[in-house]
Structure 1
């Protein structure tokens, strides 16, 4: 009888670093955005009943939630100005592609992390993508990631939009409760954002 060798976690770490480097080479903004979102998501996740594995999965998903943008054409990803209607399918495809890419990483939590990556653009009212999940059908980690991702995306300058001030971003998120984002997650996030350290994460 033969046994499969134990996984080489140093190789897995190298593969994740290679993924992170690929994101940075493809689009420097996305790498910085993913790193900031990871720090915010972990801090927010610590306020919920997540165990150590779930926190690790959430942070990894946040760091790699946009890895699928590697497959978005330059004319769409690097375009300045609003995204054209006909280009939205290319943008939306990044969550499913990101799931596939992370599943191939060999990480011991690949399935759980990939699930969060797939669902980070789902909306509480079912209007999100790729699966139109709603309410509690959206994994808690994905609901947390949606808030962290949205906040950082709104408050930093992107190729197609100027960054908003903190107060303006918070007003938008407040209005999106029970539509795009989970109201319970937002309430915790709002409380945390009174801490300057998180705002500067």
Structure 2
């Protein structure tokens, strides 16, 4: 697994840090949902590797400053399916379970997400947890295309995305969890 993590870091140092922070947040969130130890491990592993598919996204898209042009969205959207394929090839004992979470971390509660347009409870719980952890960290850290937002702003955006993009029950628990300032600095 370390070689896969190194490949992410070599490709894009931001993505490696983002995946590590997302892993810490996702694990803490999963603990609030009383996941079994194996499920927690799978969730944390999926969080650490949820963006491994970005290895296959061209630099001009991945490192594009500002808003991604519409023509480049197919390359961005392909990263979750590519990530699933890469992780399945890892040989990890729980590759199938972890790869499923990687594939579905951009699904939306209303079915507007990708890659499969799953909605509601059809989205695995781990993927719903990962979606919130991923979104929060992405919003609160500086990226090539956006400045970091404050904790308060990110929480307002996530609150507004309930029912459409994110699971309202997951957000409710996340909101309580994020009262812990240490996680905000994950």
Shorter-chain TM-score bucket reads: over 0.9
**When the two structures are superposed, what TM-score results if normalisation uses the length of structure 1?**
0.92
- Unmatched tracts of structure 2, length 5 or more: none
| 1:91-128, Cα deviation, whole Å (9 max, x unpaired) | 00000000000000000000000000000000000000
Of 70, 75, 91, the residue aligned with 2:60 is: 75
1:86 aligns with 2:71: yes
Superposition misfits of 4+ residues, deviation over 6 angstroms:
none
CA drift at 1:24: 0.4
Alignment size in residue pairs: 186
Equivalent-residue separation in structure 2 for 1:196 and 1:30 (angstroms): 22
Which residue number in structure 2 is paired with residue 185 of structure 1? 170
Q: What is the alpha-carbon distance in structure 2 between the residues aligned to residue 22 and residue 171 of structure 1? A: 34
Give the TM-score taking structure 2 as reference length.
0.99
Corresponding residue to 1:159 among 138, 144, 162: 144
Q: What RMSD over aligned residues (CA atoms) do the two structures have, in Å?
A: 0.5
Cα deviation code 1:2-44 (max 9, x no counterpart): xxxxxxxxxxxxxx11110000000000000000000000000
Q: The residue matched to 2:84 in structure 1 has which SS?
A: helix
Tell me the distance in 2 between the aligned counterparts of 1:128 and 1:90: 15
Paired with 1:81 and 1:47, the residues of 2 have a C-alpha distance of: 35
Distance 1:130 1:118 in 2: 7
User: Which structure has the larger Rg?
Assistant: 1
